[in-house]
Amino acid sequence: MPNKSNFHIAVLPGDGIGIDVTEEAVRVLRAVEQRLGSFTLKMTNHESGAICYQRTGNDLPRETLNACRQADAVLLGAMGHPDIRKPDGTELTPQVTLRVVFDLYAGVRPCKLYPGVRSPLANIKPGDIDLVILREQTEGLFASQMGGIVLGDQVATDTLVMTRKGSERISEFAFQLAQSRRQKVTCVDKANIFKSYAFFRRVFDEVAAKHPTIAKQHTYIDAQALFLVQKPQQFDVLVTENMFGDILSDLAAGLIGGMGMAPSGDIGDHHAVFQPAHGTAPDIAGKGIANPIAAILSAGMMLDWLGRRHQNADLVAGGRLIECAVTEVLEEGKSMPVDQGGAATTQTVGLAITARIEKLPF
Ligand code: ATP
């Protein structure tokens, strides 16, 4: 990709707390843009989600989809509402549609325990947990989404699909990611029971052979759930099938302070969407108390991804600046979000992080 410094970000706040946390992520991005002064972020807001569906009959209007296609990256809040559903009763999931349309095969879910945040695990200190769950997002058990079969009200089946292409590219992504981290990849599967997972493991091993300097290991999903609770310090990048990744990433988020602390990136070869791992949290929507840190860290991941893709070191530095500012605010503890035992509103947390960005050296 050629070097460039003007970027278009399509912003999709969505529903519920997605709207509140996105406002703070945008505030922080503006602060980084001003602080570094060497790139511009043209951020345009676009409608999507459950309220949009209620109003227009479409949860991802064509205009929004086109904006996402043309943008350099997409920043998303959260989408959906328990009371607004399609005629068949299923939930609206435009964020999943984006994964399919743009082939966003890598679900990158960093889980890091920051200072000032308490883990439910005993004897775990900040810095002890710093891992990434890498979830394959285009196949696995989700390949069957809406395509399962119910026979005569007696038998139901969903089919798990693994392809060579899908297994290869997610494994390659895992090794590339580990290269810039602690150089260790764990393949999580159930290869002792299922042919599909044995195939995934075989392809993973073939890819691993091309990366001899990076340590690899295998675990079974059941044992991995145990290890994440018993010894999370030992893991760096964990690569796994769609459904296992879905479950493991929520477990890992639970270890680092909950959904309000868990950022994510849905990344493909040509497009990427960055969003907090949490949903719209209707129970706290509109109260101004949602933790915006997951959304803000997702915005930091977006800068890092854009910077690496376009060889722009300042964007990568911008991503680091966001992480440093979040770390300092949490360490200081004066503007602690409500879900972390503090009393700071969504906006107060965003403003505290913005103020740090204005002061931090880079
Ligand atoms: P979905 O079905 O899309 O995952 P959900 O509302 O059922 O949405 P989440 O939004 O992921 O589930 O979160 C579950 C609960 O965790 C929320 O009801 C809320 O209490 C809490 N929570 C999630 N995100 C945050 C946040 N950013 N700040 C504070 N609490 C949060």
> Which tokens is 85 given?
């559903």
Q: What is the chain's alpha carbon radius of gyration, rounded to the nearest angstrom?
A: 20
Ligand 1 touching residue 280 (CB < 6 A):
yes
| Each residue's pLDDT tens digit, 214-231 | 999 999 999 999 999 999
What is the C-alpha to C-alpha distance for residues 285 and 17, in angstroms, rounded to an integer? 5
| Each residue's pLDDT tens digit, 130-175 | 999 999 999 999 988 778 899 998 999 999 999 999 999 999 999 9
| Each residue's pLDDT tens digit, 231-266 | 999 999 999 999 999 999 999 999 999 999 999 999
Ligand 1 touching residue 16 (CB < 6 A):
no
Question: Under CATH, domain 130-255 is a member of which superfamily?
Answer: Isopropylmalate Dehydrogenase (3.40.718.10)
Q: Select from 130, 81, 80, 95 the least CA-distant residue to 261.
A: 130
The DSSP letter of residue 80 is -
Ligand 1 touching residue 279 (CB < 6 A):
yes
Q: Where are the domains of the chain?
A: 1-107+264-362, 130-255
Distances (CA, A) of 152 to 155, 156, 158: 7, 9, 15
Confirm whether pTM is higher than 0.85: yes
1-107+264-362 is classed in which CATH architecture?
3-Layer(aba) Sandwich (3.40)
State residue 236's pLDDT score: 98
- List, in sequence order, the alpha helices (H) in 106-241: 164-179, 195-209, 221-230
Query: Ligand 1 centroid vs 286 CA: distance in angstroms?
Result: 13
| Each residue's pLDDT tens digit, 21-31 | 999 999 999 99
- pLDDT tier, 306 (very low <50, low <70, confident <90, very high otherwise): very high
| Each residue's pLDDT tens digit, 258-293 | 999 999 999 999 999 999 999 999 999 999 999 999
Q: Select from 218, 186, 196 the least CA-distant residue to 143.
A: 196
Residue nearest to atom 31 of ligand 1 (CA): 260
Residue nearest to atom 17 of ligand 1 (CA): 281
Asked if domains 1-107+264-362 and 130-255 share a fold, the reply is yes
Residue nearest to atom 18 of ligand 1 (CA): 281
State residue 2's pLDDT score: 65
In the chain, the amino acid numbered 110 is: P
Q: Can you tell me which atom of ligand 1 is nearest the CA of 339?
A: 29
Backbone angles phi and psi of 343, in degrees to 5: -130, 10
Residue nearest to atom 19 of ligand 1 (CA): 281
In the chain, the amino acid numbered 304 is: D
Mean pLDDT of 291-307: 98
Q: Which helix (H) or strand (E) holds 273?
A: strand 272-276
Per-position b or e across 188-208, b if 16+ CB within 10 A of its CB: bbbbeeeebbebbbebbeebb
Ligand 1 touching residue 81 (CB < 6 A):
no
> Locate tokens 């350099």: which residue?
72
- Report the residue among 23, 59, 250, 259 best suited for mutation to probe ligand 1: largest number of ligand atoms under 8 A from its CB: 259
Query: Ligand 1 centroid vs 116 CA: distance in angstroms?
Result: 21
What is the C-alpha to C-alpha distance for residues 221 and 279, in angstroms, rounded to an integer? 24
> Locate tokens 């949903």: which residue?
279
- Report the residue among 284, 348, 349 best suited for mutation to probe ligand 1: largest number of ligand atoms under 8 A from its CB: 284
Ligand 1 touching residue 23 (CB < 6 A):
no
Residue nearest to atom 4 of ligand 1 (CA): 279
Query: Ligand 1 centroid vs 129 CA: distance in angstroms?
Result: 22
| Each residue's pLDDT tens digit, 175-212 | 999 999 999 999 999 999 999 999 999 999 999 999 99
For the chain, the first-to-last Cα distance in angstroms comes to 25
Ligand 1 touching residue 268 (CB < 6 A):
no
Q: Can you tell me which atom of ligand 1 is nearest the CA of 338?
A: 29
